Amino acid sequence: MSFSDTSFSQREVERYARHLVLREIGGPGQQKLKAARVLVVGAGGLGAPAALYLAAAGIGTIGLVDPDTVSLSNLQRQVLYDTADVGRSKVEAAVERLSALNPHTSVETHSVWLNATNAADLVARYDLVLDGTDDFATRFAVSDACLAHGKPLVSGALGRWTGQVGVFHGQPCYRCLVPETPPDAETCALVGVVGALAGVIGSMMALEAVKLVAGAGEPLSGKLLIYDALAAETRTVRIGADPHCTACGA
């Protein structure tokens, strides 16, 4: 990551005061956050809260990938938008909200479907990628591009009352966990999802991104955190590298 232009104004010092006194972040960590370029794929249930917390944390540049427009049914969980945004481009509405939250954060918009054709070019421009989409073709394209460019990937998913977060950087990769599209794959549109769960998992994704960028603590690398909201329980499982993985295996 580049560390140019990382001096802080007095207003930035005040804005990030609670980070600056944290031993695990401090001035050097906040400089890393300011220098970082983070791509958020999908500005929906997970990408919306993640982007808000990334901007609030002082990430220097946030890229948003989403070709969709805001619908009324989004507002139950996509807290980046409000009722007046219905019908607007998600990325355009997001720029206004994120810039209002933190004018020191630059937001780059990509109003496209990320796919196997354009994923490599998009991912190459950023230091770290967050994927909160519910389309497996997109998930595989993001994972393959991150693997090819050596970029860490924070992956989140949710449905009904359960969510999960994992970090993939090299081996194991996302395809070690999900080698192909599950035959019984479900989307939130089909099975529903409690809105606040998106906030929990999206915030966890942002937290993992902050840890990775600042070099704080132990990220969920090679692990999957699963949160059962109905039971109020979490568990973390280790993901093994698949030697026969079509993406990262031998």
User: What residue spans define the domains of the chain?
Assistant: 14-159+192-217
Contact partners, residue 1, CB within 8 Å, separation at least 6: 32, 35, 36, 37, 127, 213
| Cα–Cα distances in angstroms (integers) from residue 119 to residues 39, 41, 122, 126, 244, in the given order | 11, 10, 5, 12, 23
How would you write the pLDDT of the chain (250 residues) with one tens digit per residue? 333 445 899 999 999 999 999 999 999 999 999 999 999 999 999 999 999 999 999 999 999 999 999 999 999 999 999 999 999 999 999 999 999 999 999 999 999 999 999 999 999 999 999 999 999 999 999 999 999 999 999 999 999 999 999 999 999 999 999 999 887 777 777 788 999 999 999 999 999 999 999 999 999 999 999 999 999 999 999 999 999 999 998 5
Closest CA to 233 of 151, 185, 162, 180: 162
166 φ, ψ to 5°? -145, 160
Specify the fold of 14-159+192-217. Answer: Rossmann fold (3.40.50)
